[in-house]
Amino acid sequence: MRVERVISDENDSFPVGMRVLAVDDDPTCLLLLETLLTKCKYNVTTTSQAITALKMLRENKNKFDLVISDVHMPDMDGFKLLELVGLEMDLPVIMLSANGDTKLVMKGITHGACDYLLKPVRIEELQNIWQHVIRRKKFDRKDQDGSGSQDKPYIDSSEAAGLGNVDQNGKFNKKRKDQNEDEDEERDENGHDNEDLSTQKKPRVVWSVELHRKFVAAVNQLGVEKAVPKKILELMNVENLTRENVASHLQKFRLYLKRISCVANQQANMAAALGSVDSTHLRMGTMNGLGNFHTLAGPDQIHNAAFRSFQHSGVLRRLNTPAGVGISGLPSSGLVQLSPVQNLGNTSTYQRKLQSFVIPGNHNANILQGMPMSLEFDQLQNNRAASHVGQFPSVDNTTVLPVSSISGSLIDAGCSNSPLLGVTSNSLLLEGSSQLPTLHASNLRDSVSGFPNRSTLSDFTSIAPASNQLHGSKADIQDQAFPISCNAGKIISSAPQDWNAPKKDAPYQSNVPSCSINSLRAVNGDMAQLGQCLDQNNPIFNRNVGFDFVDPLSIKCSEGENLAMEPSVIEKEGYLMVQPSRQGIYIPDNEGENFAMEPSVIEKEGYLIVQPRRQGSYIPGNLGSLEDLASAMTKQDHDKGKPTDGDFGYNDYSLRTCI
């Protein structure tokens, strides 16, 4: 009977049974939401904790069709969750809030939300949310179709599989599949169906850290501005990946970068001193976006726009961005820590990457070394730079790890703090960063821990935000970074951001980088990019590294407090953006000079602005490493830590995070 119903209703019954995950810390609203959704005949699962929600989503990617989340939550910022979900699971996310401020809504959009509802929510509004699911599937499908073969088998199989219960073989096109799945879901088949489909050919491409890294590398190679899906696809050389997949991912990535750059800007402003950031940014240059950063770097901060683009790629890298990132406490900064330091395990691979990454450029080690990276690190800075790669001076954690090795090295280095905090694990480049005080590497880690050890995250997470400072921020960043971490891991490499982190504050320094990383992760899809970026970090990182990868993020840090200032901003941006919350950390790219802030200033911004969300879960701190580095670097150079960019530093911070 069910089957029959399904079959006949196949077309009509959707959205019946659509699986929604509702997240809201307010029990009253949650109960209301649940009842409303049930009334709409959806299949509802609720949780009051974002962390739990993430866990559920990660456990089984195909368990849900849609996520509705509140914006203000105690354990994690709704936007961060949004990013993460978007990146990792590529699910449509609807934001919910009692506050309908245009700014917030805008933020939701930039973070990838497909809708923004105001509380109290009315049933009429919920009755139409299924459109987001369909739309997305369609889009995915299209991508898939593009690849052709991929889809076909998928369809067949999926249909069969999906339909499993339904029996609809062949009848359902992919879209239906989803619907069917939904229906199946009701029957409890969903998960199953989904699985089948997955095995067959998931309509949705999962942007794993590796994949994202490749993506970011490709984008960097081509230049963010010039990156076109076709070329990226070619460069990536991955089977079963369609141009459409890449296109949509690129779109997300760009959004991410943009976001980061915005944050970075803010940070940059804050960091003003970061100055050096510019140079670091340059590093990221590869990311095209990053390159722009240079330009950005100069001026104040990472201009969001510029960075943004970069950031994406660079952002991840940037994560570390320094100062900002490192900023202790990076406020939310995106410092996404690339994968929580904890993940170090993952990072190992990543690290390797990073290492290689880092080293290239002069590595970062140089940079890092040169970079005052994270002021906090103090120690780090000096030395290490490239070689550090693993070294992450455990400086507080936030060592901004020279991005390159940071992650890898961080972990290896045993950076105690995992310089990138999260990043280290991730490869947050804390490399050499002479130990940039990876943002609380520990923080990152902690934060990162929040994140499932997605390897990516670990990668990112650590952007070891400027250790000292970042600690605080890092934690956030880590969280943030964490999301990014996924990808971030890679980014972390870029984390050299921290260098920028003006030593002074370096608080955030690394954070930034990490942040991005986190964001990367979070953003799942985007993150992938970031992650890739991170990976890319190597290249980027190198880039940055060379330049003082002051990571915008870190650079920001230098401002010491600059970053801090942005905490809110960063927090928001937190995700990906390694918010150099700490402003100080932003080691303004060593004042720019060191880093050759590559044009890709992006790095600054670009980095995955791993927002070192405080969230703790993320290891936004990761940036620490970069940040630290950055800050250390900047510190040296700048006393202020204000990265040359000052702003940029800050912004860079975000960018940097991208590392």
Partner 1 sequence: MERNPMRRQLAIMRQSLFDQGHVDEQFVQLEELQDDANPNFVEEVVTLYYRDSARIILNIEQALERKPFDFRKLDAYMHQFKGSSSSIGAKKVKAESTLFREYCKSGNGEGCMRSFQQLKKEYATLRKKLGAYFQLARQAGPVETASRPK
Give residue 611's Cα distance to chain centre: 8
- Of 282, 653, 630, the closest CA to residue 433 belongs to 630
Nearer to partner 1, 229 or 574 (CB): 574
What is the closest distance, in whole angstroms, from the C-beta atom of residue 117 to partner 1 in the complex?
Answer: 12
Nearer to partner 1, 8 or 128 (CB): 128
Alpha helices, H only, 188-288: 190-201, 209-222, 229-236, 243-271, 276-284
327 touches partner 1 by CB under 8 A: no
With contact defined as beta carbons under 8 Å apart, do 361 and 345 qualify?
no
106 touches partner 1 by CB under 8 A: no
41 touches partner 1 by CB under 8 A: no
The structure tokens listed for 631 are 């800050």
Residue of the chain from 26, 167, 225, 639 that contacts partner 1 (CB under 8 A): 26
156 touches partner 1 by CB under 8 A: no
What is the closest distance, in whole angstroms, from the C-beta atom of residue 112 to partner 1 in the complex?
Answer: 23
With contact defined as beta carbons under 8 Å apart, do 514 and 326 qualify?
no
Can you tell me the distance from the alpha carbon of 326 to that of 463, in angstroms, rounded to the nearest whole number?
8
What is the closest distance, in whole angstroms, from the C-beta atom of residue 136 to partner 1 in the complex?
Answer: 28
Nearer to partner 1, 35 or 240 (CB): 35
What is the closest distance, in whole angstroms, from the C-beta atom of residue 97 to partner 1 in the complex?
Answer: 8
Buried b (16+ CB within 10 A) or exposed e, 185-195: bbbebbbbbbb
What is the closest distance, in whole angstroms, from the C-beta atom of residue 625 to partner 1 in the complex?
Answer: 30
Task: For residue 464, give the 3-state DSSP assignment.
Answer: strand
What is the closest distance, in whole angstroms, from the C-beta atom of residue 41 to partner 1 in the complex?
Answer: 12
Nearer to partner 1, 72 or 138 (CB): 72
What is the closest distance, in whole angstroms, from the C-beta atom of residue 65 to partner 1 in the complex?
Answer: 22
Residue type, 35: T
| Residue 480: partners with Cβ closer than 8 Å, 6 or more residues away | 80, 330, 332, 333, 334, 335, 336, 337, 447, 514, 515, 516, 518, 519, 522, 570, 571, 574, 575, 576, 577, 578, 579, 610, 611, 612, 613, 615, 618, 619, 620
Nearer to partner 1, 106 or 123 (CB): 123
| The one segment of 114-122, 476-484, 513-521, 523-531 that binds partner 1 by CB under 8 A | 114-122
Residue of the chain from 7, 16, 21, 29 that contacts partner 1 (CB under 8 A): 29
Nearer to partner 1, 23 or 457 (CB): 23
- From residue 55 to residue 74, the character string flagging contacts with partner 1 as x (rule: CB under 8 A) and all else as - is -----------------x--
Chain position carrying tokens 């890319």: 536
With contact defined as beta carbons under 8 Å apart, do 354 and 537 qualify?
yes
What is the closest distance, in whole angstroms, from the C-beta atom of residue 68 to partner 1 in the complex?
Answer: 14
| The one segment of 91-99, 154-162, 232-240, 616-624 that binds partner 1 by CB under 8 A | 91-99
73, 79, 82, 84 alpha-carbon torsion, rounded to 10° = -100
Strand (E) or helix (H) holding 405: helix 403-409
Residue of the chain from 8, 11, 39, 135 that contacts partner 1 (CB under 8 A): 39
Residue of the chain from 100, 120, 153, 170 that contacts partner 1 (CB under 8 A): 120
Nearer to partner 1, 68 or 495 (CB): 68
- Of 638, 568, 393, the closest CA to residue 495 belongs to 393
DSSP per residue over 543-564, as a string? HHHHBTT-THHHHHHEEEHHHH
Give residue 541's Cα distance to chain centre: 15
With contact defined as beta carbons under 8 Å apart, do 533 and 220 qualify?
yes
Residue of the chain from 27, 100, 153, 170 that contacts partner 1 (CB under 8 A): 27
Can you tell me the distance from the alpha carbon of 146 to that of 125, in angstroms, rounded to the nearest whole number?
33
| The one segment of 30-38, 208-216, 595-603, 616-624 that binds partner 1 by CB under 8 A | 30-38
What is the closest distance, in whole angstroms, from the C-beta atom of residue 123 to partner 1 in the complex?
Answer: 7
DSSP per residue over 574-591, as a string? TTTSB--TEEEEB-GGGT
Burial class of residue 325 (count of CB atoms within 10 Å of its CB; 0-12, 13-18, 19+): buried
Can you tell me the distance from the alpha carbon of 398 to that of 271, in angstroms, rounded to the nearest whole number?
17
Can you tell me the distance from the alpha carbon of 139 to that of 131, in angstroms, rounded to the nearest whole number?
12
- Phi-psi label, residue 275: left if phi above 0, alpha if psi -120 to 50, beta otherwise: left
Nearer to partner 1, 68 or 160 (CB): 68
Can you tell me the distance from the alpha carbon of 271 to that of 565, in angstroms, rounded to the nearest whole number?
9
DSSP 8-state code for residue 173: -
Nearer to partner 1, 86 or 329 (CB): 329
Nearer to partner 1, 119 or 142 (CB): 119
Can you tell me the distance from the alpha carbon of 83 to that of 515, in angstroms, rounded to the nearest whole number?
12
Residue 331 CA neighbour count, 13 Å, CB half:
25
- Scanning residues 587 to 626, which ones bind partner 1 (CB under 8 A)? none
Q: Number of residues in contact with partner 1, rule: CB under 8 A?
A: 17
Nearer to partner 1, 99 or 199 (CB): 99
With contact defined as beta carbons under 8 Å apart, do 327 and 400 qualify?
no
| The one segment of 11-19, 84-92, 95-103, 161-169 that binds partner 1 by CB under 8 A | 95-103
99 touches partner 1 by CB under 8 A: yes
238 touches partner 1 by CB under 8 A: no
230 touches partner 1 by CB under 8 A: no
Dihedral pair phi/psi, residue 464, rounded to 5°: 15, 80
Residue of the chain from 2, 5, 41, 119 that contacts partner 1 (CB under 8 A): 119
What is the closest distance, in whole angstroms, from the C-beta atom of residue 122 to partner 1 in the complex?
Answer: 6
98 touches partner 1 by CB under 8 A: yes
Nearer to partner 1, 39 or 226 (CB): 39
What is the closest distance, in whole angstroms, from the C-beta atom of residue 128 to partner 1 in the complex?
Answer: 16
Chain position carrying tokens 């970026």: 533
What is the closest distance, in whole angstroms, from the C-beta atom of residue 104 to partner 1 in the complex?
Answer: 11
What is the closest distance, in whole angstroms, from the C-beta atom of residue 614 to partner 1 in the complex?
Answer: 14
| The one segment of 55-63, 118-126, 410-418, 515-523 that binds partner 1 by CB under 8 A | 118-126
What is the closest distance, in whole angstroms, from the C-beta atom of residue 87 to partner 1 in the complex?
Answer: 27
32 touches partner 1 by CB under 8 A: yes
102 touches partner 1 by CB under 8 A: no
What is the closest distance, in whole angstroms, from the C-beta atom of residue 47 to partner 1 in the complex?
Answer: 16
Residue of the chain from 11, 31, 55, 188 that contacts partner 1 (CB under 8 A): 31
639 touches partner 1 by CB under 8 A: no
Q: Give the residues lining the site for partner 1 (CB under 8 A).
A: 26-29, 31-32, 35-36, 39, 72, 97-99, 119-120, 122-123
